[in-house]
Each structure stands twice: as C-alpha cells, then as structure tokens.
Amino acid sequence: MQLKETDLDLITAVLNGNTADYAVLVKRHQRFVFTLALRFAKNREDAEEVAQDVFVKAYRALGTFKQTSKFSTWLYTITYTTAMTFLRKKRLDTQSINDDENVLQIANSGTDFDANIVEKKSNYAYLNQAIDLLLPDDAAIITLFYKGEQSLEEIGEALSMEPNTVKVKLHRARQRLKDKLQYLLKDEVKELI
C-alpha cells in the first residue's frame, strides 16, 4: 500500500474486495465525523453511536458513491442525515445536570503551566460551548465551513441546499455565534471594563 493513497484509491480497493482499506478511510475521517455528530447529539455516547452508524451506512453504500464530489462531502451528507434521523428518534430534549462542569478545568501543574496554552484552550472551550448553544443546522454549517474547511458548494451538497442559501445561513449562523459568545463572555468583558 502506498503511503498517501487518495480516498478514491481506497474506495476502488474496497470495492475490489480489499475491505481492510476501509479502515484507512475510517481513520482518515473519523475525527471530523465524530465532531459533526457531537454538534448534533450534544453528548459523547450519542455522537459515538451516530458516527458508528455513519461508517456502517457509508460502507454499505460505498458502491453508490458517484465521485461527482469529494468523498468527504458524501460522507458528511450521510453524517448529517444520520444525525437528524437519530435526533428525530430520540425526541428527548434533555440538558445535562453537569453543564457547569463542561467548562474547561485547568490545573496549575507547577513548571508545566503555560499561560498561552491555557488561554488557547480556554478560548477553544468558549467557542465550542457557544457552538453547542446554536441550533443543530447552524452548528453544522459553522462546523463544516470552519473545521471541515468545506466550500459553500460542498456544504450545499451535503445539506441539500443551494450555495447561496448556505452563504446566507452561514452569515446568520455567524451572527448567532457572535451573540452566544457575547453572552458567555459577558462576565469577562465586565472584568475588563
């Protein structure tokens, strides 16, 4: 096996009977599929279940991949529809009792303490917390655009929308994200003033 086989090379190998190459595809895309699933499911266990379902469905449907778009776009489409189906089935809107514990907790470990790392982790935690407060569609678009580095066309394809619609929704999602961040950081802003 080559060091840097493309997704299409791996798909061809899997379709030709080398099913072990599917593990390479899973490893390559599992982190982002899980991240996207977590945006919808809101908890780790449900996100793991959704991600597992995604890869099972993708494996079964691999022969239907038309190669008119990137494999990742096709896979994220499956992720989106699987997550939406999962949420419809669940229909329970529960909130964790321990939400306050989800805020990043950082212990000062003496000489290993690095203020820049702590600040970056803290900013990342606030950003993720704000994204979690968004509606699932907004969270998906923000995640696909910024973390998945998908184009408007690819997001449109994954979510069955026109690119212009995605552009408008992305703009609105950014505004809502800004509002959530301002809400989360209001105490920090007060401390600075």
Do 22 and 81 lie in one domain? The reply is yes
- Enumerate residues 6+ apart whose C-beta is below 8 A from 144: 36, 76, 150, 154, 155, 158, 159
Do 84 and 103 lie in one domain? The reply is no
Q: What is the pLDDT of residue 102?
A: 41
Q: Final residue of a domain: which of 46, 78, 94?
A: 94
Do 121 and 189 lie in one domain? The reply is yes
Domain, as residue range, for 8: 1-94
Residue 181, pLDDT > 90, answer no
How much is the pTM?
0.60
Which of 10-14, 100-104, 126-130 is predicted least confidently? 100-104
Do 49 and 117 lie in one domain? The reply is no
